[in-house]
Amino acid sequence: MIDTVTTEIAEGEERIRLETGEDGLAVLTLCRPDKLNGWSWESTRQLGLLADRIRFDPSVRAVLLRAEGRAFCAGIDVTAPGGAITGGSAAGRTRDYYEGIRWVHERFAVLARLPQPVVAAVQGYCLGFGFELALMADIRVAAEDAVFALPEAQLGVAVDAGGDLRIAREAGAGWAKYLALTGRRIDAATAQRLNLVQPVVPGAELDAAARGLAAEIAANAPLAVQGIKRAVDAYADAALPAALDRVAMTAALTLTSDDCREGYAAKAARRPPHFTGG
């Protein structure tokens, strides 16, 4: 796992770039397009670090979350260093994964609980952790080519960061189960119909549409905007903390399972997995 104490981002190791201007916007850009902006422990650390900087910047009134390249985020980067947690026993590894996933939840919560509203601009693949990240935003603008999925069950693991819970909140429990239990992909039009994204625009218009929306929010009264966000979140997320702890334990158990190893091995070999339930 990565160093969770360091509070800087090493040169050349940037996963997310932060830019602020005089327009009241902070722009967070996933900046590893050659990896389809694949997610890692280090991406999570940088997200929490940069979100903390935004939180205490009085000049920032809204946040735009976007990505470079043809994908928003295609899920976990399995080539990233420190991806697997090791331990002296199965129980020890499970405990370490449990704490690791809880740490991820805490970093994601820094973004989700920012006082400033977050607008996500989503294009191309938005899968697994990428979908979960987009669901942390207050409003999602999707390009017509956006594709969404939670494929974790196909790999033998649970949905790690609560994306299925947020889908249940937005679209209902039935759709959350349908998407998370099957791993099926849906297009932007379907995601809009399920209330998982708001505007859907042509790909060439995505950046302008999302920036324009974020700027429109930033132009409104900050105290009113932030109060509205807090009130809606307090209602919508009332049962989320306890459910996320259950998610962390389920993720830890599945990440240390034989089925998880089989799932990733089968994907690498391009063959159907043979799951045993162990």
- Catalytic positions, written as ranges: 132, 152
Measure the CA–CA gap between 160 and 128, rounded to whole angstroms: 9
Residues facing 76 on adjacent strands: 39
Here the tokens at position 81 are 């260093």
Q: What is the CA radius of gyration of the chain?
A: 18
Tell me, what DSSP letter sits at residue 151? -
d(CA 76, CA 87): 21
Coil, strand, or helix at residue 119?
A: strand
CA 241 to chain CA centroid, Å, is 17
Rounded CA separation 95/4 (Å) = 17
Residues 6+ apart with CB under 8 A from 88: none
Q: What are 185's two structure tokens?
A: 């992909």
Q: Torsions phi, psi of 258, nearest 5?
A: -65, -35
Token pair of 137, please? 């935003």
How many Å apart are CA 260 and CA 99, to the nearest integer?
18
Q: What are phi and psi of 67, to 5 degrees?
A: -145, 145
CB 162 within 8 Å of CB 244 = yes
